[in-house]
């Protein structure tokens, strides 16, 4: 269990360093630069380093560390909750940034800046994690260094099935995100953490369950067993298609592309008060009767 304790200390250190980066960027950078670049960089950096260490525990822990999948899943839920609470509005996920663009919540320039920051943050996290593993602080890291050059692809299904799995994970994740994005963090953070844990448990054996293009690129694109185009289809196009399907199902349309609602009928915001109309009609009846009486009382020739 010493290796597990070292990994927990590593997680705490990564979160602490990322929080320092966020604090410094708020103090030194303009609000726009902090929101577009620094915040997304820190979030992707934190997410990538935590994910790499956690996947090392998931792969080696059961036979090299003496702990089971339940321990790793518990850590995954706790880390997901910590990430959701500490990201300070960052998504650290390209599909979420593209979703905000399609919802007219960010401009094209801001979205491109976020995507670049996420890529750089994930790449930096990957490089520093590999450096940390090279120190071989535990037996788990020693084993990881031995097998790292021979890492194999996380795709353990046919290409269409793998793309469908990643797309389905992205679809469910974004549906939950769209549902709780305006909720209080007390409800939103555990809901998203539970969703990530469930999807990782169910889809992990097939594709690794990344449903995050930046995270997948830094984690598995360098492994042998699949071509670059295979990785693109599974880990980029699959999650993008899942996000678009979730947005279309939730909204009924994609605001950036078209305003017409394709799935749900639009009800008028203004309703005619039926009671007043009835009262007016009933009030007109005596006047009509009086007019008819007057016309009948007129002398006839």
The least confident of 155-169, 255-269, 285-299 is: 285-299
**pLDDT (tens digit per residue) in 108-134:** 999 999 999 999 999 999 999 999 999
Q: Is the pLDDT of residue 15 over 60?
A: yes
Alpha helices, DSSP H only, in the chain? 2-28, 31-33, 39-60, 69-86, 94-102, 108-134, 139-147, 159-180, 185-207, 213-220, 228-231, 238-251, 274-297
Q: What percent of the chain has pLDDT over 90?
A: 67
**pLDDT (tens digit per residue) in 129-181:** 999 999 999 999 999 988 888 888 899 999 999 999 999 999 999 999 999 99
pLDDT on residue 95: 97
What single-letter DSSP state applies at residue 150?
G
**pLDDT (tens digit per residue) in 40-52:** 999 999 999 999 9
What single-letter DSSP state applies at residue 35?
I
Q: Is the pLDDT of residue 283 over 90?
A: no
pLDDT on residue 258: 83
CA distances 49 to 68, 126, 225, 278, Å, are: 21, 6, 23, 68
Q: Is the pLDDT of residue 286 over 90?
A: no
Phi, psi (degrees; rounded to nearest 5) at 154: -80, -5
pLDDT mean over 96-101: 96
Which domains does the chain carry? 1-251 (1.20.1080.10)
Phi, psi (degrees; rounded to nearest 5) at 210: -85, -50
pLDDT on residue 266: 65
Instruction: Give the H/E segment covering residue 222.
Output: none
pLDDT on residue 35: 67
Q: Is the pLDDT of residue 105 over 90?
A: yes
Q: What angle do CA 142, 1, 48 make, to 5 degrees?
A: 60
pLDDT mean over 209-231: 93
Q: Is the pLDDT of residue 238 over 80?
A: yes
Residues forming beta bridges with residue 152, ordered by sequence position: 224
Q: How far apart are CA 160 and CA 123, in angstroms?
A: 27
- Kindly report the average pLDDT of the chain as a whole number: 87
Residues forming beta bridges with residue 224, ordered by sequence position: 152
- Between 192 and 291, whose confidence is greater? 192
The least confident of 42-46, 146-150, 204-208, 297-301 is: 297-301
pLDDT on residue 185: 92
Q: Is the pLDDT of residue 268 over 60?
A: no
pLDDT mean over 56-68: 81
Q: How far apart are CA 275 and CA 31, in angstroms?
A: 53
């Amino acid at each position: 269990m010493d290796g597990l304790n070292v990994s927990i200390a590593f997680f705490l250190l990564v979160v602490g360093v990322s929080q320092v980066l966020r604090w410094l960027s708020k103090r030194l950078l303009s609000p726009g630069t902090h929101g577009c670049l620094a915040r997304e960089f820190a979030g992707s950096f934190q997410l990538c380093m935590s994910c790499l260490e956690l996947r090392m525990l998931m792969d080696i822990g059961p036979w090299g560390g003496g702990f089971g999948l339940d321990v790793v899943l518990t850590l995954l839920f706790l880390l997901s909750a910590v990430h959701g609470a500490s990201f300070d509005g960052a998504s650290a996920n390209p599909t979420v940034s593209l979703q905000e663009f399609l919802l007219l919540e960010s401009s094209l320039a801001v979205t491109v800046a976020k995507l670049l920051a996420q890529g750089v943050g994930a790449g930096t996290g990957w490089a520093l994690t590999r450096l940390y593993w090279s120190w071989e602080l535990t037996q788990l890291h020693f084993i990881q260094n031995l097998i790292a050059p021979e890492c194999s692809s996380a795709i353990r299904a046919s290409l269409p099935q793998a793309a469908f799995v990643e797309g389905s994970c992205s679809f469910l994740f974004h549906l939950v995100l769209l549902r709780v994005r305006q909720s209080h963090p007390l409800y939103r953070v555990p809901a998203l953490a539970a969703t990530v844990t469930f999807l990782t448990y169910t889809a992990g054996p097939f594709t690794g369950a990344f449903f995050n293009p930046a995270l997948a690129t830094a984690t598995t694109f360098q492994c042998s067993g699949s071509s670059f185009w295979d990785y693109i289809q599974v880990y980029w196009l699959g999650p993008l298609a899942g996000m678009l399907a979730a947005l279309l199902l939730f909204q009924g349309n994609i605001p950036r592309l078209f305003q017409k609602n394709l799935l749900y009928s639009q009800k008028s915001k203004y309703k005619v008060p039926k009671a007043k109309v009835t009262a007016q009609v009933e009030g007109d009846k005596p006047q009509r009767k009086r007019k008819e009486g007057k016309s009948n009382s007129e002398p006839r020739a």
